[in-house]
Structure 1
Amino acid sequence: MMILDETDLDIMRATQAGLPLTPEPYQCVAEQLGLTTEVVMTRMIAMQEQGIIRRIGVIPNHYKLGYHFNGMTVWNIPDDVIDKLGEKVGQLEFVSHCYHRPRHLPEWPYNLFAMVHGKTREDVDQQIQHIARVLGDANLGCDVLYSTKILKKTGFRSRG
């Protein structure tokens, strides 16, 4: 297990609200902290490999991009094929998140979750139909939960 030193904590504090929106975000963080770009990147990769940083990715505001129909599709998929099919669904260009989650029977039979976004309800309906085709006979049932507002998206917050 990696032990975090003050430099790691400084990097986490500098990036916890997101990386700067510049062509070279790691260089910007490095300059802010008086480090080299290589040190920042090496330490962030090490923290990610140790599970301290779960992922580094873009979190878009879909509403500002014109995608006002955001639906979490939920699917009941046989457990013996969920990994294979979940990977296929997760690779679809219109799926932003794809998760395998436990069922909560008898009320909740769904174990595959896939988030889709569209500018119209019809766009989302077409995406759902596409996922259903990918899943084929393994689709034992589905539903869609539409979001009604955007929630504040944040990552790790240090205490210092």
Structure 2
Amino acid sequence: MTLDPTDRAIVEATQAGLPLVPAPFAVVAETLGISEQEVIDRLQALKDRGIVRRIGAAPNHYRLGMTANGMTVWDVDDTLVDALGEKVGALPFVTHSYRRPRALPVWPYNLFAMVHGESREEVLAKRDDIAALLGEACRAADILFFTRILKKTGMRLRRRED
């Protein structure tokens, strides 16, 4: 699927974030030489087509006091991982979850869930809540605590050279 030039320009103009002003879409529109309503309509259409997943704020969890960050990893029965992964992802303290292929024999985990907290103890308690939800479908688990941010951006389109 390809984007038309205007949609691509909108994605490029917004992919690093919207301007922090009262009318951010108007600023984007002015930059691109189109109307504010066209920016809004095109972003909605991109969202409806699944090209843009969401438009929202991305708070810095460290600045919010969430300095304990753990990627919980789970070895879940393959026949149940999708259904259970949906339930884990719906927990209010899980910021994102996803299924990944195992790398046997070294890495048996197929379900990942990111958890943030103000302390390691808080993150470990949240991990215990996930374990209770997974129940006997979970065969093994671990948690990887982060010590620093290496990358904190989403996917970025590269600007095309005309």
Alignment of 1:15-94 (within 5 A): 15-22=14-21, 24-50=23-49, 52-94=51-93
Range with greater deviation from structure 2 (119-128 or 58-67): 58-67
Please, which runs of 5 or more residues in structure 1 have no aligned partner? Answer: none
Counterpart amino acid of residue 159 in structure 1: R
Does 2:12 match 1:4? no
Range with greater deviation from structure 2 (68-77 or 34-43): 34-43
Structure 2 counterpart of 1:156: 156
Alignment of 1:104-119 (within 5 A): 104-119=103-118
User: Does structure 2 retain, via aligned residues, the 8 Å contact 1:74–1:110?
Assistant: yes
Distance 1:111 1:58, change over 3 A: farther
Equivalent pairs counted in the alignment come to 159
Range with greater deviation from structure 2 (105-114 or 38-47): 38-47
User: Does structure 2 retain, via aligned residues, the 8 Å contact 1:12–1:158?
Assistant: no
| Residue 61 of structure 1: how far off its partner (Å) | 1.6
Residues 98-153 of structure 1 show CA distances to partners (whole Å, capped at 9, x for unaligned) of 00110111111100000000001111011000001111111111000011101232
Identity of aligned residues (%): 54
Alignment of 1:139-154 (within 5 A): 139-154=138-153
Structure 2 counterpart of 1:13: 12
Distance 1:58 1:77 in 2: 32
| Residue 159 of structure 1: how far off its partner (Å) | 2.0
User: Does structure 2 retain, via aligned residues, the 8 Å contact 1:76–1:111?
Assistant: yes
Q: Pairwise CA RMSD of aligned residues?
A: 2.1
